[in-house]
Structure 1
Amino acid sequence: MDDYPFPSAVEHPASLEAWLRLTLTDGVGSETGRRLLGAFGLPGQVLCAGAALDALVAPRIANALRKPPAAAMRAQIDAALSWAATPGNAIVTLADAHYPRALLHIPDPPLLLYVKGNMALLEANALAVVGSRNATAQGLAHAERFSEQLSGAGVAIVSGLALGIDAAAHAGGLRGPGSTVAVIGTGIDIDYPQRNRALAQRIAQEGCIVSEYPLGIPPLAANFPRRNRLISGLAQAVLVVEAAARSGSLITARMAAEQGRDVFAIPGSIHSPLAKGCHQLIRQGAKLVETTQDILDEMPAAWAARSVQKAITDDRPGGEDGDAATAIVMQAMGHDPVDADTLAARCELDAARLAGLLLELELAGRIEVLPGARYRRLG
């Protein structure tokens, strides 16, 4: 879906009310909506198309589009406009310049998105992290640690705000400058699941929450597999941490592959039911990963370099693991001895900056200096 037959909202501002009316009309989903937009232009033109609508949609839909909105729809539109007028909230349409470019290239982009929080994260270098709702303690630790380290490298962590792996991934993402994006399967005004309410509030303040569903839509089972295409669509790659042989995480991985995204999987015990999905993905061509560096190494050089530079630019002292720049050096070091020149090339740091970081790490007991001026991480 690279090109659309209507102009950017920057040049010809579309009426948000018309977009809402189009998307709230019963029977107009994203596919039908795009067909109408392709034929007539912006939503205001669709609503004024009159008898020409009959050639493209069922009579019931055409009649509904020709009539003024009923009282129930009017109330929905007014509620959405009021919600969007609240600071920190936005409704972004397919014709808006702020619509995430990554979603323009998936087969089924939503006509509009309800967004709460930092909209800029929708254009960030991003990794989707998904997995089981009933994760093991080890799986939760993996999701949180990988997400924290990648966020420290400036990578936004995208997930679905479900219990288990999703929640752990969001929590890890919030600890770094990359932050996190939650794609939900309900109206954006619905707290679901309730156990993640506090986490959702943090994401709204420090990250971003996205939904394609109108306000008030409850957690319907059919919505969650569908929202998975947006989780993978907003990211350059997907990491599956734990998954049963039949799970929603495998749906996300399949959608990612169909969208041309890389798929990574963390292996587990051959005796664990929650490792079977990851092993299945690896047999099908997903890339086995053991460290965050495995992921960065597989991504395009420019993607990884921008992530590293962002982490170094955003470094700040303190915290449990020190600043983000030292975390990047530790990730780039890997577990084999490495000389300073190689390390500088991996991190894209000048010699003086790297020497200072290596000294700090040595004094902190996190690395050791070997003969030949090579460095090795400890632990």
Structure 2
Amino acid sequence: MDQDKEYFACLALRHTPRLGPKVWKSLFSHYSSAFETVQSAKSWPGLELASRPLARDCAAEVWRTAAEEEYRAARRANMRVITWFDSLYPAALREIDDPPCLLYVSGDVSLLANPGVAVVGARECTAMGLEATRRISARLSRIGITIVSGLALGIDRQAHLGGLSGLGSSIAVLGCGLDVDYPYDNLDVRRALDEKGLVVTEFGPGVTPRAGNFPFRNRIISALSLGVLVAEAAHNSGSLITARLAAEQGREVFALPGPLGQPSFTGCHRLIKQGAALVEDAEDIVHILRFDFARELAHIPDLEPDETVVDGAGGGNASGPGKKGRKRKDSTAGKPERQVHEGQEAGAARPRRRTGPDWRTDASLGVEERQLMEVLDGTDRMHIDTLGRTLGWDSPRVSRVLLVLEVRGIVHQLPGMWYLAREGGSDNLSSDRAGVGEEA
């Protein structure tokens, strides 16, 4: 396929008056390329793919001047383009009613294939909202989940920074052209995304961030995600548009609760009343999306032994998938290996061991899952750091494998990042956590 012709054909469709996403989605389901679609414009009415006026305008090339201008501007700026029939075009976008026919991208396009969670919220927000957003986003990213947001100030900024700090990294979807620096105060995050994450937009070069652009941006944010977390939003926040679009697209909607009477959380409280899942931490999201994550994370390649993620607040020290990063300092290096019972308070009962599938007879488990279970099984509990040292794995790798085992009901997470193996038996995916001090 000639990518240049495909790109120009997509521009032709986009600049044909009154021809929008729903029409080109229908056209693309019939033809094998955008170029063939445009070349066959006169045949559209006979195939009941588009009206005669639309077909006539496209065949008459009324789009040519605008398409050529955008084409030349994008080529001058050396912009990378992903078109509908490109193998890199996200399958999730093809499924929505009004998909973009092309995307301008900058950064690591492999992130488009990662499981994602959108995190959106207010520009003017509380310290509580900022802290929770950063913490939840960083935790999700640490286990390989990509954080998707809109590069606005406030909640979006913290979401990107949290995502950039981990393996999953972050995707920003713009409401303007790829060459427009907006918002200016987020240029540091934008540079980090260009280097370690991904920036995406359907708007052409030079398009400024007008208010009408953001609902279009929001539909892409929600479509690239398995669920959308509204971390802080007032009753009239634009983040509620993203939540509505997510629900219409069949995605999960999550909301972070805030103090009663706090105006910037009224939108979140309304979403919860309407059925959004109330979440307080990343584990709540993982539990709700556990089957989706288990299916998606199975396709994430293993990290090489020296590929690690730097814990911390700044986005500038992160390593995305497939990138070499600085090694995280192990605070327990050089210390004697502690026994698995160490740290349990005197007089506390053992953690209650619940039943789940027998990992020994589960043919679907991979090599990594079995290696980890051979270490974990037979112990009362084991800390994630001890698991990593015993296996010789870095933290993101251990976290990813544990997540797969947890969502399959084979391991159970205790407070403080301790894990235990469930006893083989009936499957029980209860979401509550057994504390160390629970009765046996």
TM-score if structure 2 supplies the norm length? 0.68
1:24 to 15, 21, 34: 15
Q: Which amino acid aligns with 1:80?
A: A
Asked if the contact 1:183/1:230 (under 8 Å) is kept, the reply is yes
1:272 to 254, 262, 277: 262
Q: Which amino acid aligns with 1:168?
A: Q
Separation in 1, partners of 2:356, 2:382: 9
1:64–1:298: structure 2 CA closer, same or farther, 3 Å change rule? closer
Gaps in structure 2 of 5+ consecutive residues: 314-326, 332-347, 360-367, 389-414, 419-433
**Structure 1 vs Structure 2 CA RMSD:** 4.0
Asked if the contact 1:17/1:81 (under 8 Å) is kept, the reply is no
1:68–1:301: structure 2 CA closer, same or farther, 3 Å change rule? closer
1:163–1:338: structure 2 CA closer, same or farther, 3 Å change rule? farther
Asked if the contact 2:25/2:99 (under 8 Å) is kept, the reply is no
TM-score if structure 1 supplies the norm length? 0.78
Is 2:163 aligned against 1:163? no
SS of the residue corresponding to residue 34 of structure 1 reads: helix
1:344–1:163: structure 2 CA closer, same or farther, 3 Å change rule? farther
Q: Which amino acid aligns with 1:350?
A: M
The answer to which of 48-57 and 268-277 deviates more is 48-57
1:316 to 308, 312, 325: 308
SS of the residue corresponding to residue 236 of structure 2 reads: coil
Separation in 2, partners of 1:59, 1:149: 52
**1:133: how far off?**
1.1
Asked if the contact 1:128/1:159 (under 8 Å) is kept, the reply is yes
User: Structure 2 matches for 1:250-261, cutoff 5 A?
Assistant: 250-261=240-251
1:140–1:54: structure 2 CA closer, same or farther, 3 Å change rule? same
SS of the residue corresponding to residue 147 of structure 2 reads: strand
Asked if the contact 1:225/1:251 (under 8 Å) is kept, the reply is yes
Separation in 2, partners of 1:311, 1:339: 33
| 1:352 aligned partner | 375
User: Structure 2 matches for 1:1-379, cutoff 5 A?
Assistant: 15-37=6-28, 42-49=33-40, 51-52=42-43, 56-57=50-51, 59=53, 62-63=56-57, 65-67=59-61, 70=64, 73-83=67-77, 86=78, 89-301=79-291, 303-304=293-294, 316=308, 319-320=311-312, 339=351, 349-350=372-373, 352=375, 355=382, 357=384, 376=436
Separation in 2, partners of 1:306, 1:68: 43
Separation in 2, partners of 1:316, 1:249: 33
**Superposed CA offset, 1:189-237 (max 9, x none):** 1111111112111101101111111111111111101211111100001
**1:135: how far off?**
1.1
SS of the residue corresponding to residue 73 of structure 2 reads: helix
**Superposed CA offset, 1:9-33 (max 9, x none):** 59x9963222223223443322233
SS of the residue corresponding to residue 222 of structure 1 reads: helix
1:320–1:265: structure 2 CA closer, same or farther, 3 Å change rule? same
Asked if the contact 1:50/1:66 (under 8 Å) is kept, the reply is no
Asked if the contact 2:42/2:59 (under 8 Å) is kept, the reply is no
**1:104: how far off?**
1.6
| 1:4 aligned partner | none
**1:325: how far off?**
11
1:283–1:78: structure 2 CA closer, same or farther, 3 Å change rule? same
Separation in 1, partners of 2:41, 2:309: 63
**1:42: how far off?**
3.4
Q: Quick check: which one's helix share is greater?
A: 1
Asked if the contact 2:15/2:63 (under 8 Å) is kept, the reply is no
1:77–1:316: structure 2 CA closer, same or farther, 3 Å change rule? closer
Q: Which amino acid aligns with 2:124?
A: N
Separation in 2, partners of 1:312, 1:338: 34
SS of the residue corresponding to residue 228 of structure 2 reads: strand
Separation in 2, partners of 1:282, 1:299: 17
SS of the residue corresponding to residue 134 of structure 2 reads: helix
Gaps in structure 1 of 5+ consecutive residues: 1-8, 327-335
